[in-house]
Amino acid sequence: MPLRRKSFRAKIFYTLTLPLFIIILSGNILLAYYMKKVHRKILETELLSIANTFATSIEIERFMPDSSEKTMDFSALDMKVKRFLGNIGQVRSVYIMVRKNDEDFYVVAGASTGNDNKTILAGNSYAAENFPGIMMGLVVPFVTNRIYSYGKFRYMTAYVPVRDSEGKPFAVLKMDYDVTNITKVYRMIYSQVLGIVIVLTILVAVAGFFISRQISVPLTDLVQGIRDVQKGNFESHIPVRDNDEFGQLARAFNQMTTGLKTSRKLLDTYLYRTMRSLVTILEARDSYTKGHSERVAFYSEMIARKMNVPEKKIKMLREIALLHDIGKLGISESILQKIEPLTEEEREMIRKHPSIGEEILRPVFFEKDALDIVRQHHERFDGTGYPDGLAGDSINFLAQILTVADAYDAMRSARAYRTPMSQSAAIDELKQNSGTQFNPKIVNVFIEILEKEMKEIG
C-alpha cells in the first residue's frame, strides 16, 4: 500500500507538473529571446534612422572646393558634427571619413564624448580593417552585429553613406550609439524570467498534489496567459481565483507581465524622447517655427476634447502632433528657409516630408492610427492634398483634426516670406477653405473654441 500510494502520487505529480514545467520553461525562454530580438531590432532601426537623418542633412557640396582652391575646408562640417553630438544624448561619437585608397580612410570631421577611450582624430588616416563594416557603409546603411565594449560603456556602431546631390557616395558616416542602459534592461528581463521560472516551478510542484479537477481551470488560464505574452500581449493578466498556490502563481505571472510592460514602456518612452529631441533640433534650425509643434498639439487636443474623442486617442494625437513635422529633417535647410517662391522640384521635396516622417516614427509607434496621422496631415478634404490624394472619410479623422490645427498655427505664425495673420483673418481663412481643404465639422468646432476664447479675453 505505501508503495502503491507513493506511485499514485508520483503519477499525479509527473502527469500534472512535467508538461506544465516544459511549457513554462520553453515559453519564458522564447519570451526572453523574443524581447531581446525586438529590442535589438528597435535599437538598430533607431540608430539607422538617426544616422540616415543626419547623413541626409549634410550638403556635401557646401564643403567642396572652388576651382581656384586646392583643398577642401571641412571646418564647418566639423562644427556641424559637434553640434549634432551635443543634441543627441545617446550618440557618443560621430565621424565622417573619405576613402583615401584601398586600405585607408581619411577622417574629415568628427566628434566624441570621450567616454569610449578610443577617440578618433579628424585629419588622421586610419586603416579600413579597424572599422568593421566601413566598406559596406560606402554602399548601404549598415549596423554591425557586434555590440562593442569600451570600459563600462557598450556601443552599437552604424556606417551610413554620405551622398552628394547626384546620389553618389562621397564619404562614410560612422556613428557610435550608447546601449549601456539597454543592456541593463536585458539583464533585468533575464533575471525576471529566471525568477518567474523558479517561482512557477515551485508552485506547480505544490499544485501537483491537489485533485486534478481543481487544477484544470487555473492551468488553462496560465497556458493561455503564456501564449498571450509570447504573442507580445503584455497586457495579459490571468484571474486570481483563490488565495491558494494557484492564486500565488497567478499573481507571480501578473507581476511578470507588469514588469515586462514597464520595461517596454521605458523603451518606448526613451525612443519617443529621442524623436522629440530631433524635432527640437528641427525647430532650432528655423526661428520662425519655434514652438510650432507644441501649439499644434495644444490646438489638436482642444478640438479632440470638444468632439468627445476617447482619452486614449487624445493622448496619442498629442504625442503625434508634437512629432508631426519630423520628416522635415530630411529636407534641405535652404528649402525650408527659402524666401523666394519654391521651384516645382523644391515643392516636391517638401511634399515628401509626411512620408519621411512616417518612416522615421515607424520604430516608435506601432499603432497604424499614429503613423497614419503623420502621413496624412497634409491631405485635403477634397482629395487634392498629398502624399496620397485621399479625400473625405478615407482620411484618418485624427489627421483631419491635426490638419486644421496645423494650418491655423501656420497662418498665425510669422514666416520668412510673410507676416502672421490676425486671429480674425485666420478664422476667415478656415471658413473659406471649409469643405475643400478642411473637414467642415472640425472647422466649426475649432472656430467655436476660438471665438469663445476671444470673448473671454475681450
Write down all domains in the chain, each with its CATH number in brackets. Answer: 2-26+183-265 (no CATH), 58-178 (3.30.450.20), 285-457 (1.10.3210.10)
Query: What is the tens place of the pLDDT at every residue in 392-446?
Result: 999 999 999 999 999 999 898 876 666 788 888 989 999 999 999 999 999 999 9
Whole-number pLDDT of residue 69: 44
The residue with greater pLDDT, 78 or 62, is 78
Cβ–Cβ < 8 Å for 322, 345: no
DSSP single-letter state for residue 14? H
Whole-number pLDDT of residue 307: 94
DSSP single-letter state for residue 438? B
Q: What angle do CA 456, 457, 458 make, to 5 degrees?
A: 90
Residue 73: pLDDT band (50, 70, 90) is: low
The helix/strand count (H/E) of the chain reads as: 15, 7
The residue with greater pLDDT, 207 or 422, is 422
**Which residue from 290, 289, 315, 321 is spatially nearest to 403, judged by alpha carbons?**
321
Which residue's C-alpha cell is 529633417?
329
What is the Cα–Cα distance from 192 to 126, expressed in whole angstroms?
Answer: 43
**Which residue from 2, 13, 5, 4 is spatially nearest to 206, judged by alpha carbons?**
13
The residue with greater pLDDT, 394 or 454, is 394
What is the Cα–Cα distance from 376 to 317, expressed in whole angstroms?
Answer: 13
**DSSP β-bridge partners for residue 96:** 109, 173
What is the Cα–Cα distance from 41 to 54, expressed in whole angstroms?
Answer: 20
Whole-number pLDDT of residue 439: 94
Whole-number pLDDT of residue 407: 92
Q: Indicate whether 267 pLDDT > 60.
A: no
Residue 299: pLDDT band (50, 70, 90) is: very high
Q: Would you call 92 exposed, middle or buried from its count of C-beta atoms within 10 A (0-12, 13-18, 19+)?
A: buried
**Which residue from 145, 148, 96, 142 is spatially nearest to 122, judged by alpha carbons?**
96
* Helix orientation angle between 245-284 and 2-57, rounded to the nearest 10 degrees: 0
Whole-number pLDDT of residue 440: 94
Q: How far is CA 22 from CA 9, 28, 184, 236, in A?
A: 20, 10, 27, 20
Instruction: Decide: helix, strand or coil at residue 80.
Output: helix
Measure CA 199 to chain center.
Answer: 35
Q: What percent of the chain has pLDDT over 90?
A: 16
Mean pLDDT of the chain: 76
Whole-number pLDDT of residue 226: 67
Which residue's C-alpha cell is 545617446?
90
**Which residue from 79, 83, 121, 125 is spatially nearest to 102, judged by alpha carbons?**
125
Query: What is the tens place of the pLDDT at every residue in 142-174?
Result: 888 888 777 777 888 888 898 887 888 888 888
Query: What is the tens place of the pLDDT at every residue in 330-377?
Result: 777 777 777 788 888 888 888 888 998 888 888 777 678 889 999 999
Look up residue 253 and give its three cell numbers.
Answer: 505571472
**Which residue from 147, 179, 176, 146 is spatially nearest to 159, judged by alpha carbons?**
176
Residue spans of alpha helices (H) in 60-179:
75-87, 134-137
Q: How far is CA 265 from CA 44, 230, 262, 292, 364, in A?
A: 18, 17, 5, 27, 11
Q: Indicate whether 66 pLDDT > 50.
A: no
Whole-number pLDDT of residue 305: 94
Least confident of 10-14, 84-88, 107-111, 296-300: 10-14
Whole-number pLDDT of residue 366: 64
| For residues 211-227, average pLDDT | 61
Whole-number pLDDT of residue 6: 40
Cβ–Cβ < 8 Å for 335, 349: yes
Amino acid identity for residue 179 in this structure: V
Query: What is the tens place of the pLDDT at every residue in 167-200?
Result: 888 888 888 888 877 667 667 767 777 777 777 6
Q: Indicate whether 286 pLDDT > 60.
A: no
End-to-end CA distance of the chain: 95
What is the Cα–Cα distance from 26 to 34, expressed in whole angstroms?
Answer: 12
What is the Cα–Cα distance from 378 to 388, expressed in whole angstroms?
Answer: 9
Cβ–Cβ < 8 Å for 103, 86: no
